[in-house]
Amino acid sequence: MVTFEELKKTFADLEIVRGQRTSFKGFSSLKLAGCDEASFFVDERYRDELSASNAGVLIAHTKRFPFVFEAFKGTVWHSPDPLPVLAALGAHLEKVKFGDDEQWSEVGVHPTAVVEEGAEIHPEAFVGPYCVVRKGVVIEARVSLLAYVYVGCHVKIGARAVVGSHVSIMAYTQIGKESRIMAGTVLGSKGFGVLRDGSGKTAVLPQLGDLSVGEQAFIGSNVTIDRATYGTTRVGPRGCIDDLARVGHNAHIGSDLILCSLSAIGGSATIGDRVTVGGCSAIKDHTGLGNDSTLTGMSGIANHKFKPGSVLRGVPAQLYPDQLRFEGALRRVPKLIKRVKDLEKRLEQLENEEREL
């Protein structure tokens, strides 16, 4: 059960502006929430769902959306910024529901784990079944390694990080505190450095660098982030990387990245702070995006000419309004081709008529 008093301790601006409900069991979307759950309203596109919602409590910025009082029939809590409340509430409820599956309650090293001499494991950390921890590793307090995790030589994992099952963290990688790495991900593996010699044969170059992941990062399942050829591949603090994404060697990524599923950042790309990359998109090697930029889904960056704060779309990506105009014009091409062909036929008829005269 979540109470108003508990949330009020963290969010002082939270207040009950209508109704008597001071607690709820969970939260969900406006469509799915039941009478004992809360929901949020942060986007006017969902206005029509308010009247049909069965949620017991609605958390919204009521000064920005005053119509919620008329449209929603339940208790209303006002927050000037509901999203942090949503994040904190979600983290609490997720821990209650899935905590046993994502983080072990006990500490210590499971008897089936293999820990090499020279590894430093904090007494309050947990190393799960069938993990392998190599020499020189440093695992700080309250870290949880779930089953079948491989930790290579001289890796450092910051306090309270959670590493999911079947994750491989290769040598010399650093993971920031409170980061979460989901199952099947590979961090710090050898980058894709390949050249052809004079005869055309491929040669794989040595990758001598490392990988650094900032604190409070979230890395989804089956992600790959390669170590640098030289120096360091960097993912900044609070970076959020969705399942099946890829980051190439020597990429430098700022803070608060959102990288959606099936997207790729090429080697030596430079990505600023607070960048969003939509699903199935790609950023070419040695290019990048400036601070506060957005690349929409199914798009690709081929050069580095865009200013910070740009919203980009298409392949190759252009500024969003320019791309929309281009796509609109492109849709008219079949009709234009037909018109040209009709005009050519008409012109040919006129020329034939003129010759007959």
* Residues with a known catalytic role: 249
Torsion sign over Cα 50, 51, 53, 56: positive
- Comparing CA positions, the residue from 22, 25, 64 lying closest to residue 43 is 64
- The two tokens of residue 35 are 């009478």
Q: Pairing state of beta strands 218-219 and 240-241?
A: parallel
What one-character DSSP code corresponds to residue 44? G
- Comparing CA positions, the residue from 138, 141, 179 lying closest to residue 161 is 179
> What letter represents residue 45's amino acid?
R
- The two tokens of residue 272 are 């600023």
> What letter represents residue 163's amino acid?
V
- Comparing CA positions, the residue from 232, 309, 295 lying closest to residue 267 is 232
